[in-house]
Amino acid sequence: MDAPVSEPSSSALHGLHAGAIGFASALAIGIASTAPAYSLASTLGLVAKELGPGSTAAPAVLLIAFLPILCIAVAFDRLNRIHTDCGTTFAWVTRGVGPWIGWMSGWATLLSGILVMASLAQISGIYTFRLLGMDALADSRFAVALAGTAWIVLMIWICARGIESAARTQYLLLGLELIALVIFTVVALATVAGSDAPADALKPAASWFDPGNVKSPSALAGAVLASIFIYWGWESAVSMNEETRDSARAPGRAGLASVVILLLIYVAVATAAQSVHGPAFLAEHASDVFLALARDVLSPPWDRLLILAVLTSAVAAAQTTLIPTARTLLSMASAGALPATLASIHPKFRTPHVATWALGVGSCAWFVALSFWSTDVLADSILSTGLLVALSYALTGYACPLVYRSTAIHSWKNVLVLAVLPLLGAVSLSWVFLNSCAALAEPASAGLMLGVGVPLVVGVGVLLVGAVIMAARFYIHPTFFRPVESTALRVPRASPEETL
């Protein structure tokens, strides 16, 4: 049985390095966490495939997916203002809905981080060999598993040494990535507009941005689920709230700014990528659209710039996935929801080093297992992660009006910001989650396991495993699940002045 966990003071919180980074670092980590280049490379073709042959609505889908994500970003910002806890979704859902649903929301956050590390590690391994011209090794499962695992271990070591080191690393990696994406977008659009444009090139049209061009609800749900994966990660800026200066406001603003900047990046790059050879080409090369487009847009040796962008993007995202996930684990352990050992803080670096290494080991094990089990590591990990992300985001949206229930009625602005927008985001993501589960349950789903799609088996399977662990945790250490005693619920009530 665990020793009782003492409640952190409002100033020290979980013992992390308070005020270690500023708004700019939080913004950089928020953007880098989504891995723009990697996310587009691995997901844009999947979006085109979900939409069906000939559909040019990929940019429109990115706009559609942005709206619920923006609503959830508003919820993150407002919830952080009254409860600055690095556990974010776990802490807020526990407070607003209750410890049982809160525990499962934290579990979904943890597992989404572990699941996505498989695709991040795989793309890191593949692109390392592509960059070095070792194509034979890039096609070897064993070599890619070894290189991807090495990258994860390196990122764990950096994260464990302090948030400042992680932030400095992100400036470098994100800078290289964004420069390459800007060059690709400009050159691709210039190529299509020029006299030497490819025969199957398409000039961008207003219809590409019209959501009405998506006819099938199931296609829309699948495409939005993949797009949610593209946006996922911006909340890392909020997860570092305890280590950010002006912790009540700066992290939430960094998260909101990240979402808007990502929208601009994604729509511009998706438009440029689709224009080169059309949506069918993207769907045919769904596993990696940039690798397929690199030589057609950027002549050798400049095509390696795009390879470098995806590599740095995946490596940066691996690091910034560890940061918020480890802090969720820290928050859960501090509240008594998980063993207290996981709440240990390094005495010198002030980081959750035990939680970070635990997640790293779990991520490596999952990546190696999936590398030799799944026939499509990228698609399976993306869609299964998307299910968990949609669920955890939706729960956060539902929690916001419940946490603020005593103050939301004080003004119409409060009602809009604290209830309407979060609920719109939550309902939209719930629809995506349920429709995607229904689509993946169809026997026609690709990558079948137990008669249904692998992503559904993985996504639902890890939730069921979580339910078993939660039940065992209740038996071993029931304090967290008793609202009167739970440290996770002992936070001040919001006042109207704190909300706006």
- Highest mean pLDDT: which range of 82-86, 190-194, 265-269, 378-382: 265-269
How high is the pLDDT of residue 314?
85
Question: What tokens appear for 358 in the block?
Answer: 């635990």
pLDDT, mean of residues 25-30: 89
Summarize pLDDT for 219-252 with one digit per residue, the tens.
777 788 778 878 888 998 999 899 899 999 999 9
**Residue 262 predicted with pLDDT over 90:** yes
* Distances in whole angstroms, Cα of residue 467 to Cα of each of 100, 159, 366, 463: 9, 29, 19, 6
Lowest mean pLDDT among 7-21, 123-137, 236-250, 270-284: 7-21
* Distances in whole angstroms, Cα of residue 107 to Cα of each of 98, 284, 392: 14, 35, 9
- The residue that leads in pLDDT, 373 or 186, is 186
- The residue that leads in pLDDT, 35 or 498, is 35
Tell me which H or E stretch contains 452: strand 452-453
How high is the pLDDT of residue 375?
59
Strand partners, 448: 453
Tokens 């980074």 belong to which residue? 21
**Residue 194 predicted with pLDDT over 60:** yes
pTM of the model: 0.86
Asked if 140 and 409 touch (Cβ cutoff 8 Å), the reply is no
Asked if 41 and 288 touch (Cβ cutoff 8 Å), the reply is yes
pLDDT, mean of residues 25-32: 89
pLDDT band (50, 70, 90) for residue 10: very low
How high is the pLDDT of residue 377?
58
- The residue that leads in pLDDT, 475 or 217, is 475
Quickly count: other Cβ atoms within 10 Å of residue 27's Cβ: 23
**Residue 217 predicted with pLDDT over 80:** no
Lowest mean pLDDT among 52-66, 70-84, 163-177, 479-493: 479-493
CA angle, residues 231, 236, 241, in degrees to nearest 5: 145
d(CA 246, CA 19): 8
Lowest mean pLDDT among 148-152, 267-271, 317-321: 317-321
pLDDT band (50, 70, 90) for residue 408: low
CATH topology of domain 23-499: Amino acid/polyamine transporter I (1.20.1740)
**Residue 356 predicted with pLDDT over 60:** yes
Residue-range domain boundaries for the chain: 23-499
**What sign does the dihedral 371-374-378-381 (CA atoms) show?**
negative
pLDDT band (50, 70, 90) for residue 483: low
pLDDT band (50, 70, 90) for residue 339: very high
Residue 408 contacts by C-beta under 8 Å, 6 or more apart in sequence? Answer: 401, 414, 415, 418, 419, 499
How high is the pLDDT of residue 220?
79
pLDDT band (50, 70, 90) for residue 378: low
pLDDT band (50, 70, 90) for residue 484: low
* Distances in whole angstroms, Cα of residue 78 to Cα of each of 88, 238, 250, 394: 11, 11, 11, 15
pLDDT band (50, 70, 90) for residue 407: confident
How high is the pLDDT of residue 103?
96
pLDDT, mean of residues 275-299: 86
d(CA 341, CA 460): 28
How high is the pLDDT of residue 3?
36
pLDDT band (50, 70, 90) for residue 443: low
